[in-house]
């Protein structure tokens, strides 16, 4: 008696080119070739993003920063939309016509209930693998920020963490220190 082998239908592997052909108004990311819909941010999320952006804008002398929605292409099967990205003056060449075409120097993700695992595990791993030098994870409910930096082995180490009324520091943006009261008030 012969065994019958049933093949599972193959999932579509999404690429950056496929992503560019999307025509609806929804927000998506491509993670390891899988298309992931992104929920709309809440007003609280947007307020935190705006406050961090304004603090960065006051601090920056060189380089550029962008805030969502902005596509960051880290490979043909990786298109992410971080909340905030910073690109140093030396690396401005990765800013393309339609997207950031390579790893930014610094990425900020603001956690929402629907994205906790994606931001703290999946995207953190992707940013680490593609060489994003500094990754901030902002926890609105806890009023906390973690700052992760790449070590010499290309792995993230926790550089700084603050909660409540503490201060968070950056390694990439030397001298940047933000009092969390300015973000979460």
pLDDT at 7 over 80: no
**CA-wise closest residue to 65 among 146, 161, 134:** 134
Q: What average pLDDT does the segment 44-65 reach?
A: 92
CA angle 74, 76, 79 (to 5 degrees): 50
pLDDT score, position 113? 87
pLDDT at 72 over 90: yes
pLDDT score, position 6? 53
Greater pLDDT, 62 or 31? 31
Q: Residue 67 contacts by C-beta under 8 Å, 6 or more apart in sequence?
A: 49, 53, 83, 84, 85
> pLDDT averaged over the chain?
92
pLDDT score, position 140? 95
* Radius of gyration for the alpha carbons in the chain, expressed in angstroms and rounded: 18
Q: What average pLDDT does the segment 90-101 reach?
A: 97
Per-domain residue ranges of the chain:
40-184
pLDDT band at 87 (very low <50, low <70, confident <90, very high): very high
pLDDT band at 11 (very low <50, low <70, confident <90, very high): confident
Query: For residue range 106-165, what is the model confidence (pLDDT) as tens digits?
Result: 999 999 988 899 999 999 999 999 999 999 999 999 999 999 999 999 999 999 999 988
**CA-wise closest residue to 85 among 2, 44, 96:** 96
Q: Which CATH number fits domain 40-184: 3.40.50.720, 1.20.140.10, 3.90.1570.10, 3.40.50.300?
A: 3.90.1570.10
Beta-strand relationship, 106-110 and 134-139: parallel
Q: Encoding tokens for residue 86?
A: 């910073």
pLDDT score, position 60? 86
pLDDT score, position 8? 54
């Amino acid at each position: 008696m012969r065994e019958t082998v049933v093949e599972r239908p193959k999932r579509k592997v999404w690429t950056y080119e496929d992503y560019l052909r999307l025509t609806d108004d929804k927000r998506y990311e491509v993670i390891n070739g899988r298309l992931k819909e992104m929920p709309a941010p809440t007003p609280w999320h947007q307020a935190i993003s705006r406050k961090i952006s304004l603090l960065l804008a006051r601090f920056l002398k060189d380089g550029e920063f962008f805030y969502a929605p902005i596509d960051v292409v880290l490979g043909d099967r990786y298109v992410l939309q971080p909340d905030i990205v910073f690109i140093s003056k030396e690396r401005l060449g990765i800013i393309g016509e339609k997207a950031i075409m390579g790893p930014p120097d610094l990425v900020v993700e603001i956690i929402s209930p629907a994205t906790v695992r994606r931001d703290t595990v999946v995207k953190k791993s992707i940013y680490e693998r593609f060489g994003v030098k500094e990754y901030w994870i902002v926890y609105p409910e806890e009023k906390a920020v973690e700052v992760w930096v790449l070590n010499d082995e290309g792995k993230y180490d926790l550089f700084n963490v603050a909660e409540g009324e503490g201060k968070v520091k950056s390694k990439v943006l030397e001298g940047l220190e933000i009092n969390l009261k300015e973000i979460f008030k």
